[in-house]
């Protein structure tokens, strides 16, 4: 069987472009000699900002690294086409870490089975990694109480929009930051976030002065950079900052700007980075809550589904130019197994 792959050709030092990747065609490798394995035919790939870190060429002990010549890793949904374990039958779908290729062998214990009643797109969307990240960032790190002020950066994005809505459901006063009038309108009219700052059209710091004269209790941060530095000024005593992402610095050569550490110390402000994988034991609770809220019409979610294996580099790059609307997903094969060119 033909196996299309996108390999990392070079480590990006600025904006991600097509020449950083190389298209290859090979055959599906033989099954590994040891261990229970299934062969997945990948159908959907999530374009997540954190992939930019994995391909940066800066190896570390705390994040995966994709080396030049390797297929790019990504969360995704794959369908089992070969299995030696009755618990994972042929035709079942798994969601978890895959890569930019049609086929791959996998250890199924590291994946979640997608229930028959859940669409593959929903498994990466409203019930996917981004929604779970928003859930745990709000519920475990932010811990909002009724009437507290929650500020969310990147509030129109895949993670941010769910985080803002969960904060609203928990009774917090939510302020969303986004870029562009259409995103601001969607947050207000569809997501029920009444107070929105459009940083492209408004003076962000002046708006924070106006909207938050008594400070901010919780900051769910997807952006980092100078925004994080500035928001620390508005944090109330014992405030909580959920450090979800740093997309403002992913393409930048310079490091993060310094924070006012004495304000953080004397304000007893909690800064906490978190990973969704740290809460695996609480996935059932999170999925139950997300399902309940979604069924009740309390969660608005949208997916930006783009067809085509050949356009994967451009699809991924859309994350960083602001042109995507919602959870960005690339479809590389249909349910019938036919590849999407």
User: Are residue 89 and residue 171 in the same domain, yes or no?
Assistant: no
How many folded domains does the chain comprise? 2
User: Are residue 273 and residue 327 in the same domain, yes or no?
Assistant: no
Determine, yes or no, domain membership for 339: no
CA 146/CA 165 separation, integer angstroms: 14
pLDDT at 243: 96
Determine, yes or no, domain membership for 75: yes
Determine, yes or no, domain membership for 340: no
Host domain of residue 158: 129-279+286-294
pLDDT at 235: 98
What is the model's pTM?
A: 0.91
pLDDT at 252: 59
Residues of the chain under the 70 pLDDT cut: 33, 35-36, 60-62, 250-255
Q: Residue 224: which CATH number?
A: 3.40.50.720
User: Are residue 290 and residue 144 in the same domain, yes or no?
Assistant: yes
CA 218/CA 167 separation, integer angstroms: 10
User: Are residue 133 and residue 274 in the same domain, yes or no?
Assistant: yes
Determine, yes or no, domain membership for 241: yes
Orientation angle between helical segments 129-136 and 283-295, nearest 10 degrees:
100
């Amino acid at each position: 069987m033909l196996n299309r792959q996108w390999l990392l050709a070079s480590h990006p030092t600025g904006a991600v472009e097509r020449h950083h990747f190389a298209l290859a065609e090979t055959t599906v490798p033989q099954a590994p000699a040891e261990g229970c394995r299934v062969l997945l035919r990948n159908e959907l790939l999530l374009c997540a900002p954190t992939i930019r870190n994995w391909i940066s060429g800066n190896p570390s002990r705390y994040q995966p690294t994709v080396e030049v010549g390797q297929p790019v890793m990504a969360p995704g949904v794959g369908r089992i086409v070969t299995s030696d374990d009755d618990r994972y039958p042929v035709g079942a779908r798994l969601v978890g870490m895959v890569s930019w290729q049609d086929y791959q062998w996998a250890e199924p214990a590291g994946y979640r089975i997608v229930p028959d009643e859940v669409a593959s797109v929903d498994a990466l969307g409203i019930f996917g990694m981004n929604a779970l990240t928003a859930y745990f960032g709000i519920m475990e790190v932010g811990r909002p109480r009724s009437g507290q002020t929650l500020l969310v950066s990147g509030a129109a994005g895949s993670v941010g929009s769910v985080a803002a809505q969960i904060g609203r459901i928990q009774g917090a006063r939510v302020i969303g930051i986004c870029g562009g009038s259409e995103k601001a309108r969607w947050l207000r009219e569809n997501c029920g976030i009444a107070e929105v700052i459009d940083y492209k059209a408004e003076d962000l710091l002046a708006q924070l002065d106006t909207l938050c004269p008594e400070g901010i209790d919780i900051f769910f941060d997807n952006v980092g950079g100078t925004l994080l530095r500035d928001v620390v000024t508005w944090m109330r005593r014992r405030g909580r900052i959920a450090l979800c992402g740093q997309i403002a610095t992913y393409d930048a050569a310079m490091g993060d700007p310094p924070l006012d550490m004495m304000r953080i110390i004397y304000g007893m402000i909690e800064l906490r980075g978190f990973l969704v994988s740290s809460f695996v034991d609480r996935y059932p609770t999170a999925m139950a809550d997300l399902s309940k809220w979604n069924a009740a019409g309390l969660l608005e979610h949208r997916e930006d589904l783009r067809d085509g294996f050949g356009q994967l580099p451009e699809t991924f790059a859309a994350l960083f130019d602001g042109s995507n609307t919602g959870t960005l997903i690339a479809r590389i094969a249909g349910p019938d197994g036919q590849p999407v060119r």
